[in-house]
Structure 1
Amino acid sequence: MTVPNELRLLPWSGPDGKPCYLSTDDRDGYMSRLADSIESAQLGSAAELLERSSERLDHPDADLEEMRRLTRELADALRDVLRVAISRGDLLTARDPHRI
């Protein structure tokens, strides 16, 4: 069984947007692999969105509704990427507490 500081923040939210955590001794188990896969997809989507938004921002004819939609998508992607960064940082600290 893992100790509390070794809980993994999962890349999805639970009810009411609350964080979900995984407690396992098996870093190669099904849930760990699923979380890794979802994190990878989230990072890939964020990279594609960044490229698309950079291209769109270069066009002066973008309408307000399009920019609002793009801003919402960027905020969602940033939330996902931040959760991945926090989770991975926590994992590094749990594995090597002297690393900060």
Structure 2
Amino acid sequence: MQTKQKIKGMSVLQGKDDIFLDLKQKFWNTYKSGLMYWPFVQLTNFSLVPVHWRTAYTGLCGFLWATFLCFSQQSGDGTVKSVFILFRRKEASDRPPEE
């Protein structure tokens, strides 16, 4: 529910004509990505991370998730695959041209 409100709010602030377009295009992909990400995070949190590091670990994972959401809002489609495509594109553009 919170993701829906953020997408709609950003569309209003950006002055878009159809404020629900991003929601229609990205919500289900983002929701499914979250269903893959958060259970893994919590599984590792409660099985591998020592008690005194759990809050910091969850905070770091929340920061990574927020970064993913920001990327998805700007140029992604709500899937993790789009992030890896971006990394490959940047990696290819950083290489010097071959002669």
TM bucket, shorter chain: 0.3 to 0.5
Of structures 1 and 2, the one with the larger relative CO (CA 8 A, separation 6+) is 1
Q: Which structure has greater helix proportion?
A: 2
Q: Is the strand fraction higher in 1 or 2?
A: 1
Query: Taking structure 2 as the reference length, what is the TM-score of the superposition?
Result: 0.36
Q: TM-score, structure 1 length as denominator?
A: 0.36
